[in-house]
């Protein structure tokens, strides 16, 4: 028989986070191990995008000044500045997805609920979808660049 005067106690270290929805301790631990790395990459993406925005503004200013001094040959740098601007927007979006993923992991670690697991996986899906789209676009651009690099010398030899 238990001592009725003994204070209540709980064996929290052995408590299982698994619930009826099927979130196991191994899943929770995998998410716990992922969270700091997701947060680190999200922070790096945001910081990189800030530097890219600064570089974009610097290039636009330098090109504008250079057009007055050197003429139109500095105009291609506007294209580079636009490219930096587009990449900075992509980096910001990817960083935000990773921040949302990290936050959802934190909520999952706190509650162990299936809704928070679904939020985490949804944010992760958005990140990888964007990464996949960007990878596909880059592969297409690389193939087009390769074809152009091979075709331009042949086309210029005919003229």
In a domain, 10, yes or no: no
Q: How many structural domains is the chain composed of?
A: 1
Q: Would you say residue 158 lies in a domain?
A: no
Q: Does residue 53 fall inside a structural domain?
A: yes
Residue 29 lies in a domain: yes
| Alpha-carbon distances, residue 83 vs 46, 56, 116 (angstroms) | 17, 8, 36
For tokens 């949804």, the residue is 122
In-domain check, residue 11 = no
pLDDT tens-digit series, residues 18-70: 454 678 888 889 999 999 999 999 999 999 999 999 988 988 888 887 766 66
Residues 86, 33: Cα–Cα separation, whole Å: 32
pLDDT score of 15: 43
In a domain, 5, yes or no: no
Please give the Cα distance from 2 to 63 (Å, whole number): 82
Q: Kindly report the backbone phi and psi dihedral angles of residue 16, in degrees, each rounded to the nearest multiple of 5, phi listed first.
A: -95, 135
- Which residue range forms the structural domain that includes residue 37? 25-152
Residues 109, 30: contact at Cβ < 8 Å? no
Instruction: Yes or no: say if 102 and 42 are a contact pair by the CB < 8 Å rule.
Output: yes
User: Is residue 136 in a domain?
Assistant: yes
pLDDT tens profile 92-148 = 999 999 999 999 999 999 888 888 899 999 999 999 999 999 999 999 999 999 999
98 closest CA partner among 134, 123, 115? 123
7 inside domain = no
Q: What is the three-state SS of 36-76?
A: HHHHHHHHHHHHHHHHHHHHHHHHHHHHHHHHHHHHHHHCH
Q: Which residue has the higher pLDDT, 21 or 84?
A: 84
């Amino acid at each position: 028989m238990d001592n009725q005067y003994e204070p209540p106690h709980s064996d929290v270290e052995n408590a299982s986070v698994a619930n009826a929805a099927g979130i196991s301790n191994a899943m929770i631990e995998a998410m716990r191990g992922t969270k700091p790395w997701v947060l680190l990459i999200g922070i790096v993406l945001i910081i990189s995008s800030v530097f890219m925005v600064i570089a974009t503004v610097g290039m636009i200013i330098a090109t504008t000044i250079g057009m007055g001094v050197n003429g139109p040959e500095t105009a291609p740098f506007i294209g580079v500045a636009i490219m930096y601007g587009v990449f900075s927007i992509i980096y910001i979006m990817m960083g935000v997805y990773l921040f949302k993923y990290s936050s959802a992991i934190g909520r999952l670690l706190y509650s162990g609920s299936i809704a928070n697991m679904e939020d985490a996986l949804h944010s992760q899906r958005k990140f990888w979808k964007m990464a996949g789209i960007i990878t596909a676009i880059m592969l297409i651009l690389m193939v087009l660049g390769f074809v152009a690099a091979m075709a331009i010398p042949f086309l210029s030899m005919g003229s």
